[in-house]
Structure 1
Amino acid sequence: MNLLFNGKTCYLRTLTVDDAEEMVQLLVRNRDYWAIYEPRHQDSYFTALVQREKIRESIYQARENREYSFGIFEHESNKMIGHISMYSIKRLPFLSALVGYSIDEGYIGKGIATEAVRLVNTFGFEQLRLHRIEAYVSPKNMGSIRVLQKTGFLNEGLLREFLYINGVWEDHYQFALLESEF
């Protein structure tokens, strides 16, 4: 299932095993930057072998309608500059999913994450027929909080000691966007 969503500054495309090398380059470029808000990974994570396997798993999950993983690509260069996923998709009685995303440090502050989240929200509400999309974000991650606010998400509260990141239990906000607010 190949999905493509075009925006003004970027486009989203479902990942294929051919994207593994470029994904590794993106991960290596942002290894330290992303580790501020995400758990650190073992060295093997930063290999094409592991990334190909992760992409194969995401293709299987998409076929099962459980998760959709996209590369975020710059229009001009077709370079992968981030990734975004809609995951933990639940059917009735929930009709909900989580969204998570990461943007290359060299491209932050350009509205790309905001556009990518809008594109994936459109997919979630219009094609997957979801009722609710949620996102978790560190209270320290002001850039990501602004992205969620600009795309209509509301802060529903603080989840105390929610994620174990780099040896510390970190609080996270829970944001959500309802179909009626989209």
Structure 2
Amino acid sequence: MRIYDTERLTLRQIDESFANETLTYYQKNKDFLQEWEAQRSPDFYTLEGQKKILVKDTELYNKGEAFKLWLFKKEGQNSLNILGCISFSLIIRGILQSCVLGYKLDRDELNKGFVTEALRKGIEIMFQDFGLNRIDSPIMPKNKASVQVVKKLGFEYEGLSRKMIKVNGVWEDHMRWTKLNENSNNSL
């Protein structure tokens, strides 16, 4: 399992042994995240459901299809509590060398710069260690906070995709934001 540090955070891959922590995170943030995510089955909010998801995350990483890092504060009494996660999914190799970015944060940790800090490190990893050329970040137009995050990180707006992703049971339009690896070497 990979572990990385930033100034204030530890970013780490986790396995099913962290199911209690992820369950606590999702139960606490259920109403907050509902507006931005897929509809969840009741099984999602169980220990067994979280174990299955964490096992699947590891399988996807081992296949080279996704990479998820969970955010923890480096120090203090809450250093074992999950703050959120960043994920790089739908990793495509060959002539594309791209992925799709996703992220979420605990409702009590908003506007503290944690997502921006974590994503800076995650983007560096995806470009340098994984050798990707492009990271796409689809964002619903009403998600102004996420737009500000990707702008800060140098993503460029490429257009609007109508009814792109089913969020909370509704097909939602998404703006397409992209960051290119300026240091990629044009070879496969």
Using the size of structure 2 for normalisation, the TM-score is: 0.92
1:44/1:50 contact within 8 Å kept: yes
Please give the residue correspondences for 1:120-135 in structure 2 after superposition, counting only pairs within 5 Å. Answer: 120-135=122-137
Deviation string 1:146-177 (CA, Å, 9 cap, x unpaired) is 11111111111111111222343211111110
Please give the residue correspondences for 1:86-125 in structure 2 after superposition, counting only pairs within 5 Å. Answer: 86-125=88-127
2:39/2:169 contact within 8 Å kept: no
Aligned-pair CA distance for 1:8: 1.3
CA distance in 1, matches of 2:175, 2:110: 21
The one-letter amino acid paired with 2:121 is L
Aligned-pair CA distance for 1:181: 7.5
- Corresponding residue number in structure 1 for 2:12: 13
* Secondary structure at 2:182 match in 1: helix
Deviation string 1:103-136 (CA, Å, 9 cap, x unpaired) is 0000010000101111110110000000001111
For the aligned residue pairs, the C-alpha RMSD in angstroms reads 1.4
Query: Which consecutive aligned stretches of 4+ in structure 1 deviate over 4 angstroms post-superposition?
Result: none
- Corresponding residue number in structure 1 for 2:147: 145
CA distance in 2, matches of 1:181, 1:106: 36
- Corresponding residue number in structure 2 for 1:55: 54
The one-letter amino acid paired with 1:36 is E
- Corresponding residue number in structure 2 for 1:178: 180
* Secondary structure at 1:37 match in 2: coil
CA distance in 1, matches of 2:52, 2:166: 24
* Secondary structure at 1:119 match in 2: helix
The one-letter amino acid paired with 1:15 is I
Aligned length: 181
- Corresponding residue number in structure 1 for 2:165: 163
The one-letter amino acid paired with 1:102 is K
Aligned-pair CA distance for 1:83: 1.2
- More displaced 10-residue stretch of structure 1: 96-105 or 59-68: 59-68
Aligned-pair CA distance for 1:47: 1.0
Aligned-pair CA distance for 1:28: 0.7
* Secondary structure at 2:126 match in 1: helix
Structure 1 residue runs of 5 or longer lacking an equivalent are none
Structure 2 residue runs of 5 or longer lacking an equivalent are none
CA distance in 2, matches of 1:14, 1:169: 30
2:26/2:45 contact within 8 Å kept: yes
